[in-house]
């Protein structure tokens, strides 16, 4: 797919990874709707992008409220046209600590934003994609998909759920030409990772997390944005439903596609 003229929705688009992806799409000629709860930051980001010549539509919305998401999707279609790309980047990590200590409402907030929010946004846009027999959905996963992720189990459970949602939706949408991918950004310096490093509970329960950034083992946002561009190019369509790590060589993955499918890799399975 050519990004020039395409219509994309990026949730969590006011800052961090969402903004980086939105800017990457806009730089290549896409019309981008950025969606976020942070209204002031959203407007500021839109103004910055417009200065660079981007066609951007800021839409304040809470991804955990289905009615707001449906209204957002309708507004984007009315203002920009049918949606070609959805990037579910809105996320939350607020519950840090062992299960017996974390506040239940904060634990469930992470699940609600990350998993339910992704589901609601997928549901709002995929109906039109199914009718048009075209579209791309990119779901952000993260820590917990491939490891226990102790002390942030709400986040880990939600992201594992997003991976399974990605797989299931990819199977459902495949007959209609719609592709769904899971994106693993790796550790990127954002408000979320700063919270882990700077909050009292983060310093207590995840004391070594900051070493990732101190030692330069983090991933630049631009790397994640490039993956978001690559995944809608059409080159990876055969791997719909799979997990892509921004830190891995994209071209090498494509060359290995046949064995990935044969051996059922880059997905969630119980090894017996």
Distance of CA 257 to the CA centre of its chain: 22
Rounded to whole angstroms, the Cα distance separating 262 from 257 reads 9
CA angle 207, 248, 36 (to 5 degrees): 65
Q: Strand pairing of 178-184 and 135-140?
A: parallel
Distance, CA of 7 to CA of 83 (rounded, Å): 5
Tokens of 4: 């020039």
Q: Give SS3 for 92.
A: coil
155 labelled catalytic: yes
Whole-number Å distance between alpha carbons of 208 and 193 = 12
Rounded Cα distance between 61 and 47, Å, is: 18
Instruction: Please report the beta strands in the chain, taking only residues with DSSP state E, as ranges in sequence order.
Output: 7-11, 31-36, 55-60, 85-88, 135-140, 178-184, 243-245
Q: Which of 236, 192, 22 is CA-nearest to residue 92?
A: 192
Reported residue count of the chain is: 272
Active site residues: 155
């Amino acid at each position: 797919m050519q990004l020039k003229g395409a219509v994309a929705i990026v949730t969590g688009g006011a800052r961090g990874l969402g903004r980086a992806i939105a800017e990457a799409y806009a730089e290549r000629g896409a019309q981008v709707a950025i969606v976020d709860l942070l209204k002031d930051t959203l407007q500021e980001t839109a103004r910055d992008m417009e200065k660079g010549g981007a066609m951007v539509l800021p839409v304040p919305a809470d991804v955990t409220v289905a009615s707001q998401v449906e209204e957002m999707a309708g507004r984007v279609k009315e203002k920009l046209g049918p949606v070609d790309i959805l990037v579910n980047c809105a996320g939350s990590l607020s519950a840090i600590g062992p299960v017996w200590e974390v506040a239940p409402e904060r634990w469930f907030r992470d699940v609600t934003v990350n998993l339910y929010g992704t589901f609601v946004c997928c549901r709002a846009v995929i109906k039109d994609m199914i009718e048009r027999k075209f579209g791309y959905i990119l779901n952000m996963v993260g820590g917990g998909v491939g490891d226990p992720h102790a002390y942030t189990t709400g986040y880990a459970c939600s992201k594992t759920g997003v991976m399974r949602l990605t797989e299931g939706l990819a199977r459902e949408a495949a007959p209609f030409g719609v592709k769904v991918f899971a994106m693993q950004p790796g550790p990127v310096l954002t408000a979320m990772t700063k919270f882990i490093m700077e909050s009292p509970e983060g310093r207590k329960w995840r004391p070594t997390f900051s070493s990732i950034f101190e030692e330069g083992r983090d991933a630049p946002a631009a790397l994640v944005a490039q993956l978001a561009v690559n995944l809608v190019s059409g080159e990876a369509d055969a791997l719909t439903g799979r997990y892509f790590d921004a830190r891995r060589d994209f071209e090498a993955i494509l060359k290995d596609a046949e064995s990935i499918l044969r051996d059922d890799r880059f997905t969630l399975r119980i090894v017996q």
